[in-house]
């Protein structure tokens, strides 16, 4: 009859078995993950030209899958190969070490001061503010000093220092610097704001309260619904989308006046919010920046679309990655000088402000309750 087994031996045996199983799992995962990485890396080296937007979207889609695999299933593996693939494709990210106010020369200086004061004094907003600019000529030191004196919790980002390989893309770039500013933000959850924006309520809790932003990690607003040109951009986009092998997203095909040809514009980039902790959002934003690099914007983007504003959602659409555009189209704030809002014939309209009106999600919720 076998003798009694000591508790110490039992515990030691169980511990050894657990260690063996763990090591086996680690080795198995490492081998499987390494194989997966080799497969992704081998398939992501295709050369792409300035007009290959659809193929670039497919590349971003595969990169997002790769990133999700690493984060969710193989967190112990090194992500350097993923980073290397990203910087090899988007050279401006090489060497790249809230709210953003992209700067366009000195003409927005007074508007930015108004925006900062409105957020801090009127709305008592406590979120950090970062002002992005492209070189000393873009925002002089005396203007930075003045803006800094408005509030102590303001910082500045020289995009030429953040993206040393993107100097040609950023100097005198105007609109094009905006996605680069979002990428350079120290805040993982970033709100891009034009200098001429005026807030009607504080934006501090938008990432917690806006359901579209919570679900997708993105928030954009529609531009004005108007016809002001041909549909060359839409035809080009649909052709690129066909190259990805995917149909247009439901939100694009079912809710967009741009898709149906009833509006020349789809989105405005006066305010864009993104949660960069989500790899698919970060990768799509990097794609947006590529669409605004000098070679691409001069040869393709700005010839077919009005500046940067459509690129923020196009990158997501071509990549098959979810994004959210508030379904309501832009309005205006103003008063009727002759007549009243109920009249059929109103002649003369004075518009107050330099920006379109975008209704906040909270306004819709309150109107629904009433």
- Kindly state the average pLDDT of the residues 315-342: 80
> pLDDT at position 20, please?
46
Q: Which domains does the chain have, with CATH numbers?
A: 92-326 (3.90.550), 334-369 (no CATH)
% of the chain beyond a pLDDT of 70: 75
Question: What does the alpha-carbon distance between residue 293 and residue 13 come to, in Å, rounded to a whole number?
Answer: 61
Q: How far is CA 227 from CA 263, 266, 309, 329, in A?
A: 5, 11, 16, 14
The highest-confidence range among 224-233, 291-300, 321-330, 360-369, by mean pLDDT, is 291-300
Q: Note the pLDDT of residue 219.
A: 97
* pLDDT score of 22: 42
Q: How many CA atoms lie within 13 A of 284 on its CB side?
A: 27
pLDDT at 336: 53
Q: How far, in Å, CA of 151 to CA of 153, rounded?
A: 6
Mean pLDDT to the nearest integer, 290-300: 97
Three-point CA angle 244, 54, 327, nearest 5°: 90
pLDDT digits (tens, 9 = 90+) for 120-142: 999 999 999 999 999 998 898 99
The alpha carbons of the chain give a radius of gyration, in whole angstroms, of 25
Classify strands 267-275 and 99-102 as parallel, antiparallel or unpaired.
unpaired
Give the span between the Cα atoms of 199 and 121, in whole angstroms: 12
User: 73 versus 182: which is more confidently predicted?
Assistant: 182
User: What are the two backbone dihedrals, phi and then psi, of residue 3, each rounded to the nearest 5 degrees?
Assistant: -75, 170
- pTM for this structure? 0.83
Burial class (CB in 10 A: 0-12, 13-18, 19+), 342: exposed
Q: Which residue has the tokens 């930075």?
A: 144
- 15-24, 78-87, 351-360: which range is least confident on average? 15-24
Identify the weakest region by mean pLDDT among 60-74, 192-206, 297-311.
60-74
Query: Lowest-confidence range among 20-34, 82-96, 187-201, 205-219?
Result: 20-34
């Amino acid at each position: 009859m076998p003798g009694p087994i000591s508790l110490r031996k039992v515990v030691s045996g169980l511990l050894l078995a657990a260690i063996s199983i763990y090591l086996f799992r680690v080795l198995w995962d490492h081998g499987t993950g390494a194989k997966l990485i080799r497969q992704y890396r081998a398939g992501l080296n295709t050369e792409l030209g300035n007009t290959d937007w659809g193929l670039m979207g497919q590349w971003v889609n595969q990169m997002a899958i790769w990133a999700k695999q690493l984060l969710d299933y193989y967190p112990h593996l090194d992500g350097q190969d993923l980073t290397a693939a990203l910087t090899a494709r988007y050279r401006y990210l090489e060497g790249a070490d809230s709210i953003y106010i992209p700067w366009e020369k000195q003409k927005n200086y007074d508007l930015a001061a108004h925006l900062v004061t409105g957020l801090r004094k009127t709305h008592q907003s406590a979120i950090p503010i970062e002002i992005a600019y492209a070189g000393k000529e873009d925002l002089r030191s005396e203007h930075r000093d003045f803006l800094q004196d408005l509030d102590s919790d303001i910082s500045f980002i020289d995009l030429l220092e953040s993206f040393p390989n993107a100097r040609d893309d950023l100097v005198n770039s105007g609109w094009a610097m905006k996605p680069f500013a979002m990428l350079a933000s120290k805040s993982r959850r970033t709100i891009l704001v034009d200098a001429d924006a005026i807030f009607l309520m504080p934006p501090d809790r938008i990432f917690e309260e806006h359901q579209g932003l919570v679900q997708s990690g993105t928030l954009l607003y529609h531009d004005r619904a108007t016809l002001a040109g041909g549909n060359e951009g839409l035809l080009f986009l649909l052709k690129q989308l066909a190259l990805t092998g995917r149909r247009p997203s439901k939100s694009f095909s079912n809710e967009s006046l741009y898709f149906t040809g009833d509006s020349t514009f789809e989105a405005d980039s006066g305010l864009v919010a993104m949660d960069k902790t989500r790899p698919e959002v970060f990768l799509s934003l990097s794609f947006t920046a590529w669409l605004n690099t000098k070679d691409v914007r001069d040869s393709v983007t700005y010839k077919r679309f009005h500046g940067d504003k459509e690129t923020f959602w196009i990158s997501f659409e071509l990549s098959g990655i979810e994004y959210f555009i508030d379904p309501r189209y832009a309005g205006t704030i103003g008063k009727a000088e002759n007549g009243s809002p109920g009249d059929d014939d109103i002649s003369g309209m004075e518009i107050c402000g330099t920006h379109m009106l975008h209704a906040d999600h909270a306004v819709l919720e309150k109107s629904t309750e009433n």
